[in-house]
């Protein structure tokens, strides 16, 4: 199934490519929203969404009553990590013992612990968060202060069902299950399709929280290496399925 890319993402990618290629240099002013509307035939709302996306990525900055400019602060480009070698084998998961060995706080010079690491505040999409808070604050009913229904947020399910049109889906609101987070969603999915002792395929490296879920459900794993840009090799996954009884795949999207 081919999922059509939303228009605002496609236009944001077009501008991003021009910035990467040096067509628009740091400090350059971008064309105004109205001029782009006339030139490209794209709605003003779509252009605003594109600019908001670029703002969240820190590729551009907004100056009041002046317009949008390419960010003067260059984003550092680090070399891509090496891809791990392929080694297909069924293994058990023992993460808790490893986690206990990781120092949570250490003052040794040159040592950086990622065990309790959090993203820098500057990486947060503050513009999107601010817009969401402003929108919610306009709700005078105070419904956002109450507890969720134990069956999930019905309004959220309806919105997801409507957005399924973008991926040519035909999802009904009553077919959607909402959870308290991605980890709980993965747990529910795995409980639905696996039994203790089954084997699942996961990409490597992957989030240690997923490993803890696998331990909780007593599942074995086969790991396949993932490229930081290209993702996994589909052929490697097919080879694993030919050699072993794999119940499901667990992959994390690359952004």
For residue 235, tell me if it sits in a domain: no
Could you tell me which residue, 127 or 255, shows the higher pLDDT? 127
Structural domain count, the chain = 2
Binning pLDDT at 50, 70 and 90, where does residue 151 land? confident
On whether residue 105 sits in a domain, the answer given is no
Final residue belonging to a domain, choices 47, 70, 93: 70
Query: Which residue segment(s) compose the domain that 20 sits in?
Result: 7-70
Higher-scoring residue by pLDDT: 78, 197: 197
Is residue 26 one of the residues assigned to a domain? yes
Residue 168, pLDDT > 50, answer yes
Residue 78 lies in a domain: no
Would you say residue 170 lies in a domain? yes
Contact (Cβ atoms closer than 8 angstroms) between residue 11 and residue 54: no
For tokens 């609101």, name the residue.
173
Predicted local distance difference test score (pLDDT) of residue 103: 60
Question: Does 140 reside within a domain?
Answer: yes
The mean pLDDT value of the chain amounts to 82
The answer to the question of residue 244 being in a domain is no
Domain boundary pick from 70, 90, 118: 70
The reply to whether omega before 205 is within 30° of 0 (cis) is yes
Asked which of 19, 52, 70 is the last residue of a domain, the reply is 70
Q: Provide the CATH number for the domain around residue 59.
A: 1.10.10.10
Question: 195-245 pLDDT, tens per residue?
Answer: 999 999 998 887 878 888 999 999 999 988 888 777 788 888 888 888 989
Q: How far apart are CA 115 and CA 107, in angstroms?
A: 14
Q: How confident is the model at residue 132, as a pLDDT?
A: 84
CA atoms within 13 A on the CB side of 71: 16
Does 21 fall in a domain?
Answer: yes
């Amino acid at each position: 199934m081919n999922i059509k890319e939303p228009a605002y993402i496609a236009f944001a990618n077009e501008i991003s490519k021009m910035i990467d290629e040096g067509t628009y240099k740091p400090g350059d002013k971008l064309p105004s929203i109205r001029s782009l509307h006339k030139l490209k035939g794209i709605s003003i709302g779509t252009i605003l969404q594109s600019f908001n996306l670029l703002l969240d990525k820190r590729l551009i900055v907004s100056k009041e009553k002046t317009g949008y400019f390419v960010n003067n602060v260059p984003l550092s480009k680090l070399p891509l990590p090496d891809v791990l070698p392929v080694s297909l084998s069924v293994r058990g998961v023992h993460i808790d013992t490893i986690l206990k060995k990781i120092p949570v706080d250490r003052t040794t010079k040159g040592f950086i612990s990622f065990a309790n690491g959090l993203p820098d505040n500057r990486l947060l999409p503050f513009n999107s968060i601010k817009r969401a808070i402003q929108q919610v604050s306009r709700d005078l009913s105070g419904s956002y202060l109450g507890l969720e229904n134990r069956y999930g947020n019905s309004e959220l399910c309806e919105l997801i069902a409507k957005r399924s049109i973008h991926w040519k889906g035909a999802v009904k609101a009553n077919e959607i299950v909402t959870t308290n987070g991605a980890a709980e969603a993965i747990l529910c999915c795995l409980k639905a399709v696996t039994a203790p002792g089954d084997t699942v395929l996961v990409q490597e490296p992957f989030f240690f929280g997923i490993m803890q879920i696998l331990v909780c459900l007593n599942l074995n794993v086969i790991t396949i290496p993932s490229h930081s840009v290209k993702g996994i090799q589909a052929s490697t996954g097919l080879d694993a399925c030919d050699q072993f009884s794999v119940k499901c795949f667990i992959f994390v999207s690359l952004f």
